[in-house]
Protein backbone atom coordinates (compact mmCIF):
# COMPACT_ATOMS: atom_id res chain seq x y z
CA UNK A 1 0.00 0.00 0.00
CA UNK A 2 1.71 3.19 -1.16
CA UNK A 3 -0.80 5.57 0.47
CA UNK A 4 -1.62 5.55 4.18
CA UNK A 5 -5.34 5.50 4.95
CA UNK A 6 -7.12 7.96 7.22
CA UNK A 7 -10.70 8.46 8.36
CA UNK A 8 -11.73 12.10 8.01
CA UNK A 9 -14.80 13.50 9.78
CA UNK A 10 -16.70 15.53 7.19
CA UNK A 11 -19.67 17.65 8.21
CA UNK A 12 -20.04 19.55 4.96
CA UNK A 13 -18.87 22.75 6.63
CA UNK A 14 -15.91 24.95 5.84
CA UNK A 15 -13.60 23.55 8.51
CA UNK A 16 -14.02 19.86 7.75
CA UNK A 17 -13.70 20.48 3.99
CA UNK A 18 -10.36 22.20 4.64
CA UNK A 19 -9.30 19.33 6.89
CA UNK A 20 -10.05 16.79 4.14
CA UNK A 21 -8.03 18.85 1.66
CA UNK A 22 -5.10 18.98 4.12
CA UNK A 23 -5.24 15.21 4.70
CA UNK A 24 -5.23 14.61 0.95
CA UNK A 25 -2.30 17.03 0.55
CA UNK A 26 -0.40 14.98 3.14
CA UNK A 27 -0.85 11.94 0.93
CA UNK A 28 -3.56 10.10 2.83
CA UNK A 29 -6.13 7.93 1.13
CA UNK A 30 -9.20 9.44 2.79
CA UNK A 31 -12.33 7.71 4.07
CA UNK A 32 -14.82 10.51 4.74
CA UNK A 33 -17.42 9.99 7.47
CA UNK A 34 -20.58 12.06 7.98
CA UNK A 35 -23.48 11.73 10.40
CA UNK A 36 -27.18 12.12 9.96
CA UNK A 37 -27.88 12.88 13.62
CA UNK A 38 -31.14 14.75 13.49
CA UNK A 39 -29.45 18.07 12.81
CA UNK A 40 -31.69 20.85 11.57
CA UNK A 41 -29.14 21.76 8.95
CA UNK A 42 -29.50 18.64 6.86
CA UNK A 43 -28.32 20.35 3.67
CA UNK A 44 -24.91 19.92 5.31
CA UNK A 45 -25.17 16.28 4.19
CA UNK A 46 -25.75 17.31 0.57
CA UNK A 47 -22.72 19.54 0.93
CA UNK A 48 -20.65 16.70 2.46
CA UNK A 49 -21.36 14.49 -0.57
CA UNK A 50 -20.24 17.23 -2.94
CA UNK A 51 -17.12 18.05 -0.92
CA UNK A 52 -16.08 14.38 -0.66
CA UNK A 53 -16.34 14.06 -4.45
CA UNK A 54 -14.60 17.36 -5.19
CA UNK A 55 -11.65 16.56 -2.93
CA UNK A 56 -11.17 12.95 -4.03
CA UNK A 57 -12.20 10.96 -0.97
CA UNK A 58 -11.73 7.22 -1.57
CA UNK A 59 -15.08 6.54 0.12
CA UNK A 60 -17.78 8.61 1.82
CA UNK A 61 -20.22 7.09 4.31
CA UNK A 62 -23.02 8.68 6.28
CA UNK A 63 -24.02 7.00 9.54
CA UNK A 64 -27.54 7.56 10.85
CA UNK A 65 -27.60 8.25 14.55
CA UNK A 66 -30.62 9.44 16.47
CA UNK A 67 -29.03 11.83 18.96
CA UNK A 68 -32.24 13.84 18.85
CA UNK A 69 -33.83 11.41 21.28
CA UNK A 70 -31.54 12.67 24.02
CA UNK A 71 -32.55 16.29 23.32
CA UNK A 72 -30.63 19.13 24.90
CA UNK A 73 -29.33 21.11 21.90
CA UNK A 74 -30.78 23.78 19.64
CA UNK A 75 -29.11 21.98 16.72
CA UNK A 76 -31.25 18.86 17.14
CA UNK A 77 -34.17 19.83 19.39
CA UNK A 78 -36.85 21.80 17.55
CA UNK A 79 -38.16 23.19 20.87
CA UNK A 80 -34.95 25.18 21.47
CA UNK A 81 -34.44 28.26 19.27
CA UNK A 82 -31.11 28.91 17.53
CA UNK A 83 -29.86 32.21 18.96
CA UNK A 84 -28.33 35.08 17.02
CA UNK A 85 -24.61 35.70 17.57
CA UNK A 86 -23.26 36.60 21.00
CA UNK A 87 -23.90 35.24 24.48
CA UNK A 88 -21.48 33.79 27.00
CA UNK A 89 -20.55 30.33 28.28
CA UNK A 90 -21.50 27.12 26.51
CA UNK A 91 -24.12 27.98 23.88
CA UNK A 92 -27.40 26.12 23.38
CA UNK A 93 -26.11 25.02 19.97
CA UNK A 94 -23.66 22.70 21.76
CA UNK A 95 -24.62 19.07 21.05
CA UNK A 96 -23.76 16.97 24.12
CA UNK A 97 -20.66 14.85 23.61
CA UNK A 98 -20.91 15.22 19.85
CA UNK A 99 -17.22 15.10 18.98
CA UNK A 100 -16.71 12.17 21.37
CA UNK A 101 -19.46 10.24 19.60
CA UNK A 102 -18.22 11.16 16.12
CA UNK A 103 -14.59 10.31 16.92
CA UNK A 104 -15.68 6.99 18.43
CA UNK A 105 -17.41 5.97 15.23
CA UNK A 106 -14.45 7.19 13.19
CA UNK A 107 -12.30 4.97 15.40
CA UNK A 108 -14.52 1.97 14.69
CA UNK A 109 -14.15 2.48 10.95
CA UNK A 110 -10.41 3.15 11.25
CA UNK A 111 -9.95 -0.11 13.08
CA UNK A 112 -11.77 -2.07 10.38
CA UNK A 113 -9.67 -0.31 7.69
CA UNK A 114 -6.47 -0.89 9.69
CA UNK A 115 -5.96 2.88 9.49
CA UNK A 116 -4.09 4.57 12.34
CA UNK A 117 -5.01 8.15 11.53
CA UNK A 118 -8.19 10.13 12.10
CA UNK A 119 -8.67 13.77 11.06
CA UNK A 120 -11.14 16.16 12.71
CA UNK A 121 -11.64 19.85 11.89
CA UNK A 122 -12.02 21.22 15.39
CA UNK A 123 -10.73 24.67 16.10
CA UNK A 124 -9.81 26.06 19.50
CA UNK A 125 -9.69 29.70 18.38
CA UNK A 126 -13.31 29.92 17.27
CA UNK A 127 -14.54 27.10 19.46
CA UNK A 128 -17.45 29.11 20.83
CA UNK A 129 -17.15 27.58 24.29
CA UNK A 130 -17.61 23.96 23.20
CA UNK A 131 -15.61 21.78 25.62
CA UNK A 132 -14.94 19.11 23.00
CA UNK A 133 -13.02 21.46 20.71
CA UNK A 134 -10.12 21.96 23.14
CA UNK A 135 -6.59 20.58 22.52
CA UNK A 136 -6.68 18.64 25.80
CA UNK A 137 -9.82 16.85 24.61
CA UNK A 138 -8.07 15.77 21.39
CA UNK A 139 -5.06 14.55 23.38
CA UNK A 140 -7.30 12.56 25.73
CA UNK A 141 -9.11 10.97 22.80
CA UNK A 142 -5.80 9.94 21.21
CA UNK A 143 -4.78 8.22 24.45
CA UNK A 144 -8.17 6.52 24.65
CA UNK A 145 -8.13 5.47 21.00
CA UNK A 146 -4.82 3.68 21.39
CA UNK A 147 -6.03 1.82 24.49
CA UNK A 148 -9.43 1.03 23.00
CA UNK A 149 -8.30 -0.83 19.93
CA UNK A 150 -6.05 -3.51 18.56
CA UNK A 151 -3.48 -0.74 18.03
CA UNK A 152 -2.79 -0.60 21.75
CA UNK A 153 -2.64 -4.36 22.12
CA UNK A 154 -0.24 -4.59 19.17
CA UNK A 155 1.97 -1.82 20.52
CA UNK A 156 1.49 1.03 18.07
CA UNK A 157 -0.57 4.18 18.40
CA UNK A 158 -3.72 5.68 16.94
CA UNK A 159 -3.32 9.32 15.93
CA UNK A 160 -5.95 12.05 16.06
CA UNK A 161 -5.06 14.93 13.76
CA UNK A 162 -6.70 18.30 14.37
CA UNK A 163 -4.75 20.44 11.89
CA UNK A 164 -7.00 23.50 12.27
CA UNK A 165 -6.84 23.63 16.04
CA UNK A 166 -4.65 26.73 16.31
CA UNK A 167 -5.64 28.44 13.06
CA UNK A 168 -7.81 31.52 12.66
CA UNK A 169 -10.79 31.28 10.33
CA UNK A 170 -8.91 33.46 7.84
CA UNK A 171 -5.91 31.12 7.90
CA UNK A 172 -8.19 28.13 7.40
CA UNK A 173 -9.78 29.77 4.36
CA UNK A 174 -6.42 30.77 2.90
CA UNK A 175 -5.08 27.24 3.38
CA UNK A 176 -8.13 25.60 1.82
CA UNK A 177 -8.20 28.04 -1.08
CA UNK A 178 -4.55 27.25 -1.84
CA UNK A 179 -5.45 23.53 -1.83
CA UNK A 180 -8.36 24.03 -4.23
CA UNK A 181 -11.33 23.72 -1.84
CA UNK A 182 -14.54 25.01 -3.43
CA UNK A 183 -16.14 26.73 -0.42
CA UNK A 184 -19.25 27.33 -2.49
CA UNK A 185 -20.03 23.66 -1.81
CA UNK A 186 -19.84 24.03 1.98
CA UNK A 187 -22.52 24.90 4.56
CA UNK A 188 -21.61 26.50 7.90
CA UNK A 189 -24.94 28.04 8.97
CA UNK A 190 -26.66 26.63 12.08
CA UNK A 191 -30.08 27.47 10.69
CA UNK A 192 -30.03 27.41 6.87
CA UNK A 193 -33.06 27.39 4.62
CA UNK A 194 -32.55 23.90 3.17
CA UNK A 195 -35.85 24.14 1.28
CA UNK A 196 -34.08 26.51 -1.11
CA UNK A 197 -32.39 23.41 -2.61
CA UNK A 198 -28.73 22.50 -3.14
CA UNK A 199 -26.71 23.52 -0.13
CA UNK A 200 -29.45 25.84 1.15
CA UNK A 201 -29.35 29.53 1.99
CA UNK A 202 -27.43 30.73 5.06
CA UNK A 203 -29.18 32.83 7.70
CA UNK A 204 -26.31 35.33 8.00
CA UNK A 205 -27.08 35.91 11.68
CA UNK A 206 -25.95 32.89 13.75
CA UNK A 207 -22.50 32.60 15.37
CA UNK A 208 -21.32 30.26 12.64
CA UNK A 209 -22.39 32.58 9.79
CA UNK A 210 -20.75 35.53 11.51
CA UNK A 211 -17.41 33.71 11.99
CA UNK A 212 -17.46 32.48 8.41
CA UNK A 213 -18.19 35.89 6.88
CA UNK A 214 -15.52 37.55 9.04
CA UNK A 215 -13.08 34.82 7.97
CA UNK A 216 -13.58 35.43 4.26
CA UNK A 217 -13.23 39.18 4.79
CA UNK A 218 -10.03 38.78 6.85
CA UNK A 219 -8.59 36.27 4.35
CA UNK A 220 -9.21 38.59 1.42
CA UNK A 221 -11.09 35.80 -0.34
CA UNK A 222 -14.44 36.37 -2.07
CA UNK A 223 -17.25 34.84 0.04
CA UNK A 224 -19.20 32.34 -2.10
CA UNK A 225 -21.94 31.85 0.54
CA UNK A 226 -25.52 32.28 -0.63
CA UNK A 227 -27.58 34.11 1.98
CA UNK A 228 -31.35 34.18 2.56
CA UNK B 1 -33.33 15.54 44.00
CA UNK B 2 -32.83 12.84 46.62
CA UNK B 3 -31.47 10.21 44.21
CA UNK B 4 -28.44 10.71 42.01
CA UNK B 5 -28.97 9.80 38.38
CA UNK B 6 -26.78 7.43 36.39
CA UNK B 7 -26.77 6.13 32.84
CA UNK B 8 -26.33 2.34 32.77
CA UNK B 9 -25.32 0.49 29.61
CA UNK B 10 -27.65 -2.49 29.33
CA UNK B 11 -27.07 -5.16 26.69
CA UNK B 12 -29.55 -7.68 28.00
CA UNK B 13 -26.72 -9.97 29.07
CA UNK B 14 -25.82 -11.32 32.47
CA UNK B 15 -23.08 -8.79 33.22
CA UNK B 16 -24.99 -5.63 32.39
CA UNK B 17 -28.09 -6.85 34.28
CA UNK B 18 -25.92 -7.33 37.36
CA UNK B 19 -24.39 -3.88 36.86
CA UNK B 20 -27.85 -2.30 36.74
CA UNK B 21 -28.82 -4.11 39.95
CA UNK B 22 -25.63 -2.86 41.63
CA UNK B 23 -26.26 0.74 40.53
CA UNK B 24 -29.82 0.53 41.88
CA UNK B 25 -28.51 -0.93 45.15
CA UNK B 26 -26.15 2.07 45.44
CA UNK B 27 -29.21 4.34 45.28
CA UNK B 28 -28.92 5.61 41.72
CA UNK B 29 -31.94 6.53 39.65
CA UNK B 30 -30.99 4.54 36.54
CA UNK B 31 -31.37 5.46 32.88
CA UNK B 32 -30.73 2.26 30.97
CA UNK B 33 -29.29 2.52 27.47
CA UNK B 34 -29.25 -0.24 24.85
CA UNK B 35 -28.10 -0.32 21.23
CA UNK B 36 -29.58 -1.86 18.15
CA UNK B 37 -26.30 -2.06 16.24
CA UNK B 38 -26.94 -4.78 13.75
CA UNK B 39 -25.98 -7.53 16.18
CA UNK B 40 -27.00 -11.03 15.23
CA UNK B 41 -28.25 -11.66 18.73
CA UNK B 42 -31.21 -9.29 18.59
CA UNK B 43 -33.18 -11.17 21.26
CA UNK B 44 -30.71 -9.41 23.58
CA UNK B 45 -32.88 -6.33 23.06
CA UNK B 46 -36.01 -8.19 24.16
CA UNK B 47 -34.03 -9.29 27.20
CA UNK B 48 -32.85 -5.71 27.88
CA UNK B 49 -36.45 -4.48 27.98
CA UNK B 50 -37.41 -7.18 30.45
CA UNK B 51 -34.33 -6.60 32.64
CA UNK B 52 -34.86 -2.82 32.74
CA UNK B 53 -38.44 -3.34 33.91
CA UNK B 54 -37.56 -6.06 36.44
CA UNK B 55 -34.80 -3.99 38.04
CA UNK B 56 -36.71 -0.70 38.18
CA UNK B 57 -34.89 1.48 35.64
CA UNK B 58 -36.38 4.98 35.51
CA UNK B 59 -36.15 4.95 31.73
CA UNK B 60 -34.87 2.57 29.07
CA UNK B 61 -33.90 3.75 25.61
CA UNK B 62 -32.56 1.84 22.63
CA UNK B 63 -30.46 3.77 20.12
CA UNK B 64 -30.27 2.47 16.56
CA UNK B 65 -26.76 2.54 15.19
CA UNK B 66 -25.67 0.90 11.97
CA UNK B 67 -22.20 -0.36 12.91
CA UNK B 68 -22.73 -3.19 10.47
CA UNK B 69 -21.80 -0.90 7.61
CA UNK B 70 -18.21 -0.86 8.85
CA UNK B 71 -18.11 -4.67 8.94
CA UNK B 72 -15.22 -6.46 10.58
CA UNK B 73 -16.90 -8.51 13.35
CA UNK B 74 -18.58 -11.89 13.48
CA UNK B 75 -21.22 -10.31 15.76
CA UNK B 76 -22.45 -7.95 13.05
CA UNK B 77 -21.10 -9.29 9.77
CA UNK B 78 -23.03 -12.31 8.47
CA UNK B 79 -20.08 -13.32 6.27
CA UNK B 80 -17.89 -14.10 9.32
CA UNK B 81 -18.79 -17.25 11.26
CA UNK B 82 -19.08 -17.21 15.06
CA UNK B 83 -16.41 -19.62 16.30
CA UNK B 84 -16.80 -22.22 19.01
CA UNK B 85 -14.91 -21.57 22.26
CA UNK B 86 -11.13 -21.34 22.29
CA UNK B 87 -8.52 -19.63 20.13
CA UNK B 88 -5.96 -16.98 21.01
CA UNK B 89 -5.59 -13.22 20.62
CA UNK B 90 -8.44 -10.84 19.80
CA UNK B 91 -11.37 -12.98 18.65
CA UNK B 92 -13.45 -12.31 15.54
CA UNK B 93 -16.44 -11.59 17.81
CA UNK B 94 -14.72 -8.32 18.82
CA UNK B 95 -16.74 -5.35 17.51
CA UNK B 96 -14.33 -2.53 16.65
CA UNK B 97 -14.39 0.28 19.20
CA UNK B 98 -17.76 -0.91 20.53
CA UNK B 99 -17.35 0.12 24.15
CA UNK B 100 -15.92 3.49 23.09
CA UNK B 101 -18.98 4.12 20.92
CA UNK B 102 -21.42 2.92 23.60
CA UNK B 103 -19.78 4.96 26.37
CA UNK B 104 -19.76 8.04 24.12
CA UNK B 105 -23.50 7.83 23.62
CA UNK B 106 -24.02 7.17 27.32
CA UNK B 107 -21.99 10.32 27.94
CA UNK B 108 -24.24 12.32 25.62
CA UNK B 109 -27.34 11.20 27.51
CA UNK B 110 -25.65 11.74 30.89
CA UNK B 111 -24.81 15.30 29.94
CA UNK B 112 -28.42 16.05 28.96
CA UNK B 113 -29.63 14.49 32.24
CA UNK B 114 -26.96 16.39 34.22
CA UNK B 115 -25.86 12.98 35.52
CA UNK B 116 -22.20 12.53 36.42
CA UNK B 117 -22.16 8.74 36.63
CA UNK B 118 -22.08 6.06 33.96
CA UNK B 119 -22.08 2.32 34.66
CA UNK B 120 -20.70 -0.32 32.29
CA UNK B 121 -20.52 -4.06 32.92
CA UNK B 122 -17.07 -4.76 31.47
CA UNK B 123 -15.00 -7.45 33.04
CA UNK B 124 -11.23 -7.80 32.82
CA UNK B 125 -11.13 -11.39 34.09
CA UNK B 126 -13.24 -12.88 31.34
CA UNK B 127 -12.51 -10.18 28.80
CA UNK B 128 -11.59 -12.67 26.08
CA UNK B 129 -8.86 -10.45 24.67
CA UNK B 130 -11.06 -7.42 23.93
CA UNK B 131 -8.89 -4.30 24.33
CA UNK B 132 -11.82 -2.12 25.42
CA UNK B 133 -12.55 -4.21 28.52
CA UNK B 134 -9.26 -3.33 30.27
CA UNK B 135 -9.09 -1.14 33.39
CA UNK B 136 -6.76 1.33 31.65
CA UNK B 137 -9.38 1.82 28.95
CA UNK B 138 -12.02 2.69 31.55
CA UNK B 139 -9.61 5.15 33.23
CA UNK B 140 -8.82 6.81 29.90
CA UNK B 141 -12.52 7.16 29.11
CA UNK B 142 -13.18 8.78 32.49
CA UNK B 143 -10.44 11.35 31.78
CA UNK B 144 -11.86 11.96 28.33
CA UNK B 145 -15.45 12.23 29.58
CA UNK B 146 -14.55 14.95 32.03
CA UNK B 147 -12.72 16.96 29.36
CA UNK B 148 -15.39 16.37 26.73
CA UNK B 149 -18.33 17.82 28.58
CA UNK B 150 -19.64 20.74 30.59
CA UNK B 151 -18.46 18.80 33.65
CA UNK B 152 -14.85 19.61 32.85
CA UNK B 153 -15.57 23.25 32.07
CA UNK B 154 -17.49 23.60 35.32
CA UNK B 155 -14.74 21.92 37.32
CA UNK B 156 -16.28 18.64 38.46
CA UNK B 157 -15.71 15.15 37.12
CA UNK B 158 -17.59 12.53 35.18
CA UNK B 159 -17.29 9.04 36.65
CA UNK B 160 -17.22 5.73 34.80
CA UNK B 161 -18.14 2.84 37.08
CA UNK B 162 -17.13 -0.66 36.05
CA UNK B 163 -18.08 -2.57 39.20
CA UNK B 164 -17.57 -6.01 37.65
CA UNK B 165 -14.10 -5.34 36.34
CA UNK B 166 -12.22 -7.52 38.84
CA UNK B 167 -14.96 -10.06 39.58
CA UNK B 168 -15.11 -13.66 38.41
CA UNK B 169 -18.24 -14.79 36.59
CA UNK B 170 -19.22 -16.78 39.70
CA UNK B 171 -18.89 -13.66 41.90
CA UNK B 172 -20.96 -11.66 39.43
CA UNK B 173 -23.72 -14.29 39.50
CA UNK B 174 -23.65 -14.53 43.31
CA UNK B 175 -23.83 -10.72 43.62
CA UNK B 176 -26.70 -10.40 41.17
CA UNK B 177 -28.60 -13.30 42.71
CA UNK B 178 -28.36 -11.62 46.13
CA UNK B 179 -29.74 -8.42 44.56
CA UNK B 180 -32.69 -10.23 43.00
CA UNK B 181 -31.61 -10.34 39.34
CA UNK B 182 -33.67 -12.82 37.35
CA UNK B 183 -30.98 -14.31 35.09
CA UNK B 184 -33.67 -16.22 33.21
CA UNK B 185 -34.40 -12.88 31.51
CA UNK B 186 -30.84 -12.42 30.26
CA UNK B 187 -29.12 -13.51 27.04
CA UNK B 188 -25.35 -14.07 26.87
CA UNK B 189 -25.02 -16.27 23.78
CA UNK B 190 -23.22 -14.84 20.74
CA UNK B 191 -25.31 -16.92 18.39
CA UNK B 192 -28.73 -17.63 19.92
CA UNK B 193 -31.74 -18.98 18.09
CA UNK B 194 -33.92 -15.87 18.40
CA UNK B 195 -36.63 -17.45 16.24
CA UNK B 196 -37.51 -19.59 19.24
CA UNK B 197 -39.23 -16.51 20.70
CA UNK B 198 -38.75 -14.67 23.99
CA UNK B 199 -35.09 -14.42 24.84
CA UNK B 200 -34.15 -17.14 22.37
CA UNK B 201 -32.26 -20.38 22.88
CA UNK B 202 -28.52 -20.30 23.63
CA UNK B 203 -26.09 -22.27 21.44
CA UNK B 204 -24.16 -23.66 24.42
CA UNK B 205 -20.93 -23.70 22.40
CA UNK B 206 -19.61 -20.14 22.00
CA UNK B 207 -17.11 -18.50 24.39
CA UNK B 208 -19.88 -16.52 26.05
CA UNK B 209 -22.09 -19.57 26.67
CA UNK B 210 -19.14 -21.48 28.07
CA UNK B 211 -18.16 -18.71 30.50
CA UNK B 212 -21.77 -18.30 31.61
CA UNK B 213 -22.35 -22.01 32.24
CA UNK B 214 -19.06 -22.32 34.14
CA UNK B 215 -20.04 -19.26 36.19
CA UNK B 216 -23.36 -20.71 37.32
CA UNK B 217 -21.65 -24.00 38.20
CA UNK B 218 -18.88 -22.27 40.18
CA UNK B 219 -21.41 -20.00 41.91
CA UNK B 220 -23.55 -22.94 43.00
CA UNK B 221 -26.59 -21.25 41.44
CA UNK B 222 -29.04 -23.13 39.22
CA UNK B 223 -28.52 -22.12 35.56
CA UNK B 224 -31.82 -20.80 34.14
CA UNK B 225 -30.46 -20.62 30.56
CA UNK B 226 -32.56 -22.32 27.89
CA UNK B 227 -30.34 -24.14 25.39
CA UNK B 228 -30.99 -25.21 21.80
Spans of all domains in chain A? 5-219
Number of residues assigned to chain B: 228
Cβ-based contacts under 8 A for chains A and B:
133
Bridge-partner residues for A117, per DSSP? A6, A159
By C-alpha distance, the chain A residue nearest B141 is A144
**B82 pLDDT exceeds 70?**
no
pLDDT tens per residue across span A190-209: 888 888 877 889 999 988 89
- Chain B residues touching residue A141 (CB < 8 angstroms): 144
**A114 pLDDT exceeds 80?**
yes
Q: Which residue has the higher pLDDT, B148 or A176?
A: A176
> Across all residues in chain B, what is the average pLDDT?
86
Quote the minimal CA–CA distance from A45 to chain B in Å: 17
**A160 pLDDT exceeds 90?**
yes
- Which residue of A65, A96, A120 to mutate against B (max B Cβ within 10 Å)? A96
Calculate the alpha carbon distances from B130 to A162, B127, B137, B200, B203 in Å.
28, 6, 11, 25, 21
Calculate the alpha carbon distances from A89 to A129, B112, B154 in Å.
6, 16, 10
CB-CB contact of B124 with B166 (8 Å):
yes
Interface of A with B in 110-149 (CB under 8 A): 111-112, 129, 131-132, 134, 136-137, 140-141, 143-145, 147-149
Check residue B132 and give its pLDDT.
85
Calculate the alpha carbon distances from A158 to A109, A195, B89 in Å.
12, 40, 19
**B83 pLDDT exceeds 70?**
no
Check residue B85 and give its pLDDT.
54
Q: What is the 3-state secondary structure (H, E, C) of A16-27?
A: HHHHHHHHHHCC
What is the Cα–Cα distance from B85 to A208, expressed in whole angstroms? 53
**A1 pLDDT exceeds 50?**
no
CATH T-level fold of A5-219:
Rossmann fold (3.40.50)
- Which residue of A5, A34, A36, A70 to mutate against B (max B Cβ within 10 Å)? A70
Nearest to A57 by CA among A101, A8, A2: A8
What is the Cα–Cα distance from B96 to B100, expressed in whole angstroms? 9
Check residue B222 and give its pLDDT.
96
pLDDT band at residue A70 under the 50/70/90 scheme:
confident
Check residue A91 and give its pLDDT.
52
Amino acid sequence: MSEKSAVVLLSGGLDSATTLAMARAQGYRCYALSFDYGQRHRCELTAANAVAAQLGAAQHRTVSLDMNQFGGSALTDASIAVPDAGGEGIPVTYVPARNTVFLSLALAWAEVLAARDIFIGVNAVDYSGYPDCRPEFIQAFETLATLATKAGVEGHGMYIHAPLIDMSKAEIIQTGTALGVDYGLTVSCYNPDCEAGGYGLACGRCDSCRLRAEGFAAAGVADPTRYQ
